[in-house]
Amino acid sequence: MQIINPATEELIAHLDEDNSTQIQTKFEKARQAQKSWAQFTLTDRIEVLRKFYELLAEYKQSLGEILTREMGKPLAQAYNEINGARGRIEFFLENSANYLNPETVWKEPGLEEKIAYESLGVIANISAWNYPYLVGVNVFVPGLIAGNAVLYKPSEFTTLTGLEIGKLLHQAGVPEEVFQVIIGGKEAGETLLSLPLDGYFFTGSYKTGKYIYEKVASKMVPCQLELGGKDPVYVLDSNENIPGIARGIADGAFYNNGQSCCSVERIYVHEKVYEDFVNAFTEEVKSYKIGNPEETGVYVGPLTRKEQISVLENQVQDALDKGAQLLTGGKALDRKGYYFAPTVLVNVNASMLVMREESFGPIIGIQKVSSDEEALALMQDTEYGLTTGVYTQDTARAEKLLAQLDSGSAYWNCCDRVSPRLPWSGRRHSGLGATLSHLGIRAFTKPKGYHLRNS
Ligand code: NAD
């Protein structure tokens, strides 16, 4: 496997992929080791993960550099990601005992009823590259705390980061067989699907997620899917600070080069504030510093995957062919590396790919609307259901809209935000099940109901 720096197109590492025999051996070792890991007390497992939390801070600089070199996000954003991952781990450290210790739910003379949360066993964590720390810790931290062994397959675009995560977990005290990194891409993932694992936790595209769900269905084990989105926001006329809102939404669309599952991917703006919004938004996007992600101050680096350039070019051409207007960007940059100019399109409509298919890049369409009803209908016109947001000072209008939107997360005057205290879940093509929050602690367990009569 060749690891290429997307900013320079230079080869930075060469790794051997795991073949199916090696993955089978890793699985057998994990199966054995999981039994004793589950025998650790919950407190001891939490303390091991606390050490991992500390090590992430200690090695933050080198971890950030590795991440930037292999997937291209600006260094400051790589450090932010590690800080964010630590915030999520802190949540798990503080709350896991509360949700995993057995609970007595009924007691009467001669009878006790109790729920215990048992580990699933050996689970697969098949992960994405865009936020390897964030989407990884959502799964392997609560997974390990709950007493599972984890076969962790980082994306082939962030394998070096995956290997660093493995090293630090082992240094923290997770036994080597309990957390094992599987090196490889699609084929390695396929081998995991063929093994008798006790749960599949996937982050990635709808296409692969659907395939995995169908493939493992007959195993009758949990399969959670965190998939893509085409996340809309709507800016209402009842707003005072349109330039401030425009800058915030631009960040939600272009942070991490738009390669976030919850990036803003569609913008609807009420006609009364449309012009002000578009002007401020475009000015902000034009001000972004583009360049080598290792340079200070760079906000837009290269895309991680070369193939995405033609996807974006195709979306731009399709939009222009159907009558859209390009305000800035629209093409790949004429330099080494996988750079695409931040792109703003207006006069867009729902027939255009840029308003229908996940772009996963630095490109956005802004559409004018004349009523809340029109905005609602357009926002709902999608197979995805990850996040939706509205910007307004009018609480009643916000509440009415958010209650009707069919998505796992609802944002009021914010966007592109994840909180460890809230469930992270997608609906329909955006996924199945939830990570984070108390739901994401118990997701890695199976409940046992004890009916205890002592006479
Ligand atoms: P992807 O589907 O291409 O790959 C994801 C993982 O699946 C990788 O590790 C890959 O090697 C593996 N894989 C590919 N084919 C497989 C197969 N046949 N069997 C088993 N494993 C296989 O997705 P990606 O490009 O890595 O990630 C981008 C996508 O992930 C976007 O759609 C994004 O929105 C989504 N995403 C969602 C969330 C969320 O929380 N909802 C978070 C991050 C990313």
Q: How confident is the model over 168-185, as pLDDT tens digits? A: 999 999 999 999 999 999
Using the structure block, give the residue that is written with the tokens 């982050």.
203
Count the domains in the chain. 2
- Among this protein's residues, is 65 annotated catalytic? no
Residue nearest to atom 9 of ligand 1 (CA): 155
Which residues have CB under 6 Å of ligand 1? 126-131, 135, 153, 155-156, 185-186, 189-190, 193, 203-205, 208, 211-212, 226-229, 261, 358, 360, 386, 424, 426, 431
* Under 8 Å between Cβ of 137 and 435: no
Asked whether residue 318 is assigned to any structural domain, the reply reads yes
Ligand 1 centre and the CA of 379: distance in Å? 24
Please indicate, yes or no, whether residues 285 and 396 belong to a single structural domain of this protein.
yes
Please indicate, yes or no, whether residues 406 and 271 belong to a single structural domain of this protein.
yes
Tokens of 284: 């902000």
What is the domain extent for residue 236? 231-412
Query: Could you say which of 226, 284, 294, 357 is catalytic?
Result: 226
End-to-end CA distance of the chain: 63
Asked whether residue 377 is assigned to any structural domain, the reply reads yes
Cα 299 to chain centroid, rounded: 20
Ligand 1 centre and the CA of 304: distance in Å? 13
Please indicate, yes or no, whether residues 333 and 236 belong to a single structural domain of this protein.
yes
In whole angstroms, give the CA distance from residue 417 to residue 204.
18
Query: Which pLDDT score, from 0 to 100, does residue 350 have?
Result: 98
Please indicate, yes or no, whether residues 8 and 133 belong to a single structural domain of this protein.
yes
pTM of structure: 0.97
Does the pLDDT at position 242 exceed 90?
yes
pLDDT tens sequence across 4-58: 999 999 999 999 999 999 999 999 999 999 999 999 999 999 999 999 999 999 9
Average confidence score pLDDT of the chain: 98
* Residue 239 pLDDT class (50, 70, 90 cuts): confident
Please indicate, yes or no, whether residues 70 and 108 belong to a single structural domain of this protein.
yes
Tokens of 17: 């992929």
Residues 6+ apart with CB under 8 A from 116: 102, 447, 448, 450
Ligand 1 centre and the CA of 388: distance in Å? 21
Query: Which pLDDT score, from 0 to 100, does residue 302 have?
Result: 98
- To test the pocket of ligand 1, the residue of 73, 202, 208 to mutate (highest count of ligand atoms within 8 Å of its CB) is 208
In whole angstroms, give the CA distance from residue 338 to residue 310.
11
Q: β-pairing, 445-453 with 427-428?
A: unpaired
Does the pLDDT at position 238 exceed 90?
no
Please indicate, yes or no, whether residues 344 and 359 belong to a single structural domain of this protein.
yes
Asked whether residue 392 is assigned to any structural domain, the reply reads yes
Check residue 256 and give left, alpha or beta (phi > 0: left; psi -120 to 50: alpha). Answer: left
| DSSP-derived secondary structure letter, 198 | S
Tokens of 77: 């954003």
Q: What interhelical angle do 132-145 and 159-172 show, nearest 10?
A: 30
Count of positions (residues) in the chain: 455
CATH of the domain at 154: 3.40.605.10
pLDDT tens sequence across 185-210: 999 999 999 999 999 999 999 999 99
In whole angstroms, give the CA distance from residue 370 to residue 408.
26
Q: How many CB atoms lie within 10 A of CB 169?
A: 26
Please indicate, yes or no, whether residues 271 and 371 belong to a single structural domain of this protein.
yes
Does the pLDDT at position 158 exceed 90?
yes
Q: How many CB atoms lie within 10 A of CB 455?
A: 5
Please indicate, yes or no, whether residues 178 and 86 belong to a single structural domain of this protein.
yes
Asked whether residue 51 is assigned to any structural domain, the reply reads yes
Please indicate, yes or no, whether residues 223 and 235 belong to a single structural domain of this protein.
no
